[in-house]
Amino acid sequence: MALSKEQIAQRIAKEVKDGYYVNLGIGIPTLVANFVRGDISVEFQSENGILGMGPFPFEGEEDADLINAGKQTITALPGASFFDSAMSFGMIRGQHVDLTILGAMEVSQNGDIANWKIPGKLVKGMGGAMDLVASAENIIVAMMHTNREGESKLLKSCSLPLTGVKCVKKIVSNLAVLEIIDGKFHLLERAPGVSVEEIKQATEGDLVIDGEIPEMNL
């Protein structure tokens, strides 16, 4: 069975290590916060200006002056701090944030990512994604392996306008965990019950399958 969005987030949460400052993008990445182990210390950064972002507020306690990058009302945890946008992106470009998790429309086998624009269709903008992918050392992409038509989103080269070049190192899709090494997708783990053959079919880019591929542990 392919993973649900929650399960993708659950698998990515295993990549979050003790002491990490983490930036979560909009969509599936936001869900990752719900699955991070309780016994490790992690701080979430939202690029609109908070470190130490907490869960949604209780009803009646929403504060219009306290939102995340998705414009959702949030809370600040003990130890949190607020800062302005220039400093926020200083943290990001200066590589002080340990892990960036974001979504993608397409990823290519050399690590290019496209996630901000579909020409001729609606253009909403890149927000902070270009700054994040250009600077982060450690980027994990959360995405669906194929589009609604069943076409692969893991490609030899991206067809959509790029957000960044040669920056993605790890992908967690609804079918697999993959790493990008030397211009190729390397299959690391399969979603429970998904065969290597299914993953091969769903991957247009070059896929390296080295030995027995384990099922992922959620």
47 catalytic? Reply is: yes
Query: What is the C-alpha separation between 61 and 86, in angstroms, rounded?
Result: 28
Is the CB of 61 or the CB of 151 nearer to another protein?
61
Is the CB of 67 or the CB of 77 nearer to another protein?
67
CB 212, min distance to another protein, A: 37
Is the CB of 68 or the CB of 203 nearer to another protein?
68
Is the CB of 86 or the CB of 210 nearer to another protein?
86
Contacts of 217 (CB under 8 A, 6+ apart): 14
Q: By the criterion CB under 8 A, which residues form the site for another protein?
A: 46-50, 55-74, 76, 82-86, 88-89, 92-93, 112, 122-131, 134-135, 161-166
CB 92, min distance to another protein, A: 6
Using CA atoms, how far residue 128 sits from 23, 26, 89, 119, 148, in Å, is: 11, 11, 8, 19, 26
Per the CB < 8 A criterion, the answer to whether 176 and 188 are in contact is: yes
Could you tell me which of 47, 152, 32, 46 has the C-alpha nearest to residue 104? 152
CB 76, min distance to another protein, A: 8
| Active-site choice (43, 47, 189, 204) | 47
CB 124, min distance to another protein, A: 4
Could you tell me which of 109, 107, 113, 108 has the C-alpha nearest to residue 184? 109
Residues forming the active site: 47
